[in-house]
Amino acid sequence: MAQDGASPRKPRAKKIERPLSSDEIHQRILAAIMEHKLPPGTQLVEERLARIFNVSRTKVREAIGRLVHDQIATNIPNRGAFVSSPTAQEARDVFFARRLIETTLVRSVALTATAKQIQQLRKHLERETAARMGSDPLAIIPLSGEFHILLAEISGNSFLVRTLRELESLTALIIILYDAPDEHHCPYDDHPKLVDAIEARNADLAAELMQHHLEHVEHSLKLEPPESGEVDLERVFA
């Protein structure tokens, strides 16, 4: 009961948490995959994820659908969706395709890139440097991929942009699946050297550097199947 002359206290309104959107759920699952918390082969059980995120299965299904569309997850008939698990041969095929495409692509960029586009590449290199200096060792993986997609965008070929987005998604998974802890997948000076060659209009050098770069990334991987085990989804997203 309020004292004389004092206004009665109003009860505090309970903070109502906004339900997660399908986009946010997609980002949470994708981040867990990129952070090694959901390794390739993990089943993405709709019912469990809906309970974990306190949302409808429809939202979870939409989020998983995007992962499947981007080939980050795979739908297996009568079993459900699983984090994609490319084989060692598929990993080699991805890098073979990238070498065929990107050595020619970077030649074109070296001959046609404008000063403004080269500046875009330099700004992206600054983001990569900041990521390397940060506390999250995996932050550089998506940024390295974005560098290659940016090269495709600069080329002006929308088909190559779509193709490289697909290959980059697979490459990120391959790096996670076949991670060799003692190796550096992307040497810190590879991308700067590529930008220097592009700025110098040296198409031959740019192509040579791209070839060497992609070979290094592939050779830094340990192409052996990972140990399998059940993943505690509740603990991952706690």
Biggest CA-to-CA distance, the chain:
87
Q: Are 34 and 175 in contact (CB under 8 A)?
A: no
- The percentage of residues in the chain with a pLDDT greater than 90, rounded to a whole number, is 60
Distance from C-alpha of 63 to C-alpha of 159, rounded to nearest angstrom: 25
Per-residue pLDDT tens for 148-204? 999 999 999 999 999 999 898 888 888 877 776 555 566 779 999 999 999 999 999
In the predicted model, what is the mean pLDDT of residues 65-94? Answer: 91
Smallest CA-to-CA distance from 30 within 42, 16, 47, 13 is with 42
CB proximity list for 54: less than 8 A, separation 6 or greater: 19, 20
Rounded to whole angstroms, the Cα distance separating 223 from 220 reads: 9
| DSSP assignments along 129-141, one per residue | HHHHHSS-TTTHH
Q: Residue 85 and residue 173: Cα distance in Å, rounded?
A: 8
pLDDT for the residue numbered 118: 98
% of the chain beyond a pLDDT of 70: 86
The answer to pTM > 0.75 is no
